[in-house]
Copies of this chain bind each other. A is one copy, B any other.
Amino acid sequence: MKKGENLLEANETVLYQYYVSKGCLRTYFIDQAGKEHTLQFAINDWWISDYTAFFSSTQAIMNIECIQDAILYKISKKGMEDLFLKIPQLETFFRRKMEGAFASFQKRILASLAQSAKKRYLAFITTYPNIEQSVKNYHIASYLGITTESLSRIRRENAKK
Protein backbone atom coordinates (compact mmCIF):
# COMPACT_ATOMS: atom_id res chain seq x y z
CA MET A 1 0.00 0.00 0.00
CA LYS A 2 1.27 3.43 -0.98
CA LYS A 3 1.57 6.49 1.25
CA GLY A 4 -1.59 8.61 1.06
CA GLU A 5 -3.94 5.71 0.20
CA ASN A 6 -6.82 4.78 2.48
CA LEU A 7 -7.07 1.29 3.86
CA LEU A 8 -10.50 1.93 5.33
CA GLU A 9 -13.07 4.73 5.21
CA ALA A 10 -15.88 5.55 7.63
CA ASN A 11 -19.18 3.76 6.84
CA GLU A 12 -17.50 0.82 5.10
CA THR A 13 -18.25 -2.59 6.59
CA VAL A 14 -15.12 -3.83 8.36
CA LEU A 15 -14.27 -7.36 7.31
CA TYR A 16 -10.56 -7.52 8.08
CA GLN A 17 -7.88 -6.73 10.56
CA TYR A 18 -4.39 -6.05 9.23
CA TYR A 19 -0.89 -6.96 10.28
CA VAL A 20 1.69 -4.28 9.51
CA SER A 21 4.85 -5.98 8.28
CA LYS A 22 6.45 -2.69 7.22
CA GLY A 23 5.41 0.96 7.03
CA CYS A 24 3.13 3.16 9.08
CA LEU A 25 -0.63 3.77 9.19
CA ARG A 26 -2.95 5.82 11.35
CA THR A 27 -6.54 5.34 12.47
CA TYR A 28 -8.51 8.59 12.76
CA PHE A 29 -12.01 9.82 13.35
CA ILE A 30 -13.59 12.88 11.70
CA ASP A 31 -16.03 14.70 13.98
CA GLN A 32 -19.14 16.64 12.91
CA ALA A 33 -17.12 19.85 12.64
CA GLY A 34 -14.75 18.10 10.23
CA LYS A 35 -11.89 17.93 12.74
CA GLU A 36 -9.63 14.88 12.70
CA HIS A 37 -8.79 12.91 15.87
CA THR A 38 -6.05 10.28 15.67
CA LEU A 39 -6.79 7.18 17.73
CA GLN A 40 -3.80 5.05 16.87
CA PHE A 41 -0.66 4.71 14.81
CA ALA A 42 0.48 1.28 13.65
CA ILE A 43 4.10 0.54 12.82
CA ASN A 44 6.05 -2.69 12.14
CA ASP A 45 4.61 -5.75 13.88
CA TRP A 46 1.40 -3.99 15.02
CA TRP A 47 -2.18 -4.88 14.08
CA ILE A 48 -4.69 -2.31 12.89
CA SER A 49 -8.42 -2.11 12.19
CA ASP A 50 -11.53 -0.33 13.40
CA TYR A 51 -11.86 -2.98 16.09
CA THR A 52 -15.27 -1.96 17.37
CA ALA A 53 -16.61 -2.51 13.86
CA PHE A 54 -14.42 -5.53 13.10
CA PHE A 55 -15.51 -7.52 16.16
CA SER A 56 -19.20 -6.83 15.53
CA SER A 57 -18.97 -6.94 11.69
CA THR A 58 -20.55 -3.50 11.49
CA GLN A 59 -19.72 -0.24 9.68
CA ALA A 60 -16.55 1.67 10.46
CA ILE A 61 -16.64 4.99 12.25
CA MET A 62 -12.87 5.35 11.75
CA ASN A 63 -10.68 5.94 8.72
CA ILE A 64 -7.31 4.29 8.24
CA GLU A 65 -4.69 6.08 6.15
CA CYS A 66 -1.32 4.81 5.00
CA ILE A 67 1.23 7.47 6.00
CA GLN A 68 4.38 5.57 4.98
CA ASP A 69 4.53 2.91 2.20
CA ALA A 70 3.45 -0.35 3.84
CA ILE A 71 3.35 -4.11 3.45
CA LEU A 72 0.21 -5.50 5.09
CA TYR A 73 -1.35 -8.91 5.63
CA LYS A 74 -5.07 -9.19 6.25
CA ILE A 75 -7.28 -11.76 7.94
CA SER A 76 -11.09 -11.84 8.14
CA LYS A 77 -13.09 -12.49 11.31
CA LYS A 78 -14.31 -15.77 9.84
CA GLY A 79 -10.76 -16.67 8.81
CA MET A 80 -9.65 -16.17 12.41
CA GLU A 81 -12.50 -18.18 13.93
CA ASP A 82 -11.78 -21.04 11.50
CA LEU A 83 -8.08 -20.94 12.37
CA PHE A 84 -8.83 -20.99 16.11
CA LEU A 85 -10.86 -24.20 15.70
CA LYS A 86 -8.01 -25.85 13.78
CA ILE A 87 -5.16 -24.47 15.92
CA PRO A 88 -6.27 -23.67 19.49
CA GLN A 89 -2.81 -22.27 20.31
CA LEU A 90 -3.55 -19.43 17.89
CA GLU A 91 -6.59 -18.47 19.96
CA THR A 92 -4.28 -18.23 22.98
CA PHE A 93 -1.85 -16.12 20.92
CA PHE A 94 -4.57 -13.69 19.85
CA ARG A 95 -6.12 -13.55 23.32
CA ARG A 96 -2.73 -12.47 24.71
CA LYS A 97 -2.31 -9.89 21.91
CA MET A 98 -5.73 -8.53 22.82
CA GLU A 99 -4.78 -8.41 26.51
CA GLY A 100 -1.70 -6.34 25.64
CA ALA A 101 -3.72 -4.00 23.43
CA PHE A 102 -6.34 -3.62 26.15
CA ALA A 103 -3.67 -2.77 28.71
CA SER A 104 -2.16 -0.15 26.39
CA PHE A 105 -5.59 1.46 25.87
CA GLN A 106 -6.08 1.47 29.66
CA LYS A 107 -2.81 3.39 29.99
CA ARG A 108 -3.84 5.81 27.26
CA ILE A 109 -7.20 6.63 28.94
CA LEU A 110 -5.40 7.17 32.22
CA ALA A 111 -2.85 9.44 30.54
CA SER A 112 -5.60 11.52 28.93
CA LEU A 113 -7.18 12.02 32.37
CA ALA A 114 -4.11 12.41 34.56
CA GLN A 115 -1.11 13.55 32.53
CA SER A 116 -0.03 16.89 31.12
CA ALA A 117 0.29 17.30 27.36
CA LYS A 118 4.08 17.33 27.79
CA LYS A 119 4.10 13.95 29.56
CA ARG A 120 1.73 12.53 26.94
CA TYR A 121 4.13 13.72 24.23
CA LEU A 122 7.10 12.04 25.95
CA ALA A 123 5.07 8.81 26.26
CA PHE A 124 4.20 9.08 22.57
CA ILE A 125 7.81 9.28 21.39
CA THR A 126 8.66 6.31 23.65
CA THR A 127 5.76 4.21 22.31
CA TYR A 128 6.46 5.13 18.69
CA PRO A 129 10.22 5.63 18.41
CA ASN A 130 11.46 7.10 15.10
CA ILE A 131 7.92 7.81 13.97
CA GLU A 132 8.22 11.60 14.01
CA GLN A 133 9.92 11.76 10.60
CA SER A 134 7.00 9.90 8.98
CA VAL A 135 4.02 11.71 10.39
CA LYS A 136 2.67 15.23 10.04
CA ASN A 137 2.52 17.55 13.03
CA TYR A 138 -1.28 17.60 13.04
CA HIS A 139 -1.32 13.78 13.18
CA ILE A 140 0.62 13.88 16.44
CA ALA A 141 -1.30 16.87 17.83
CA SER A 142 -4.64 15.19 17.08
CA TYR A 143 -3.38 12.01 18.80
CA LEU A 144 -2.39 13.98 21.90
CA GLY A 145 -5.58 16.04 21.87
CA ILE A 146 -3.71 19.36 21.61
CA THR A 147 -3.18 22.06 18.97
CA THR A 148 -0.17 22.00 16.62
CA GLU A 149 0.94 25.26 18.31
CA SER A 150 1.04 23.52 21.72
CA LEU A 151 2.96 20.62 20.15
CA SER A 152 5.59 23.03 18.76
CA ARG A 153 5.95 24.68 22.16
CA ILE A 154 6.39 21.31 23.93
CA ARG A 155 8.99 20.26 21.35
CA ARG A 156 10.96 23.48 21.78
CA GLU A 157 10.95 23.10 25.57
CA ASN A 158 11.98 19.46 25.24
CA ALA A 159 14.84 20.26 22.82
CA LYS A 160 16.31 22.81 25.28
CA LYS A 161 17.11 20.15 27.86
Contact = CB atoms under 8 A, between A and B. Distances in A.
Given A84-B92, A92-B84, A145-B112, A55 B100 contact: yes
Interface residues of A, number: 36
A18 to B, nearest CB: 16
Contacts of A92: 84, 91
Interface in A21-65: 29, 31, 35, 37-39, 51-52, 55-56, 61
B145 A52 contact: no
Interface in A80-99: 84, 88, 91-92, 94-96, 98-99
State the number of copies, please.
2
Q: State the majority secondary structure of interface residues on A.
A: helix
A130 interface: no
Interface string A97-125: 01111110111111011110000000000
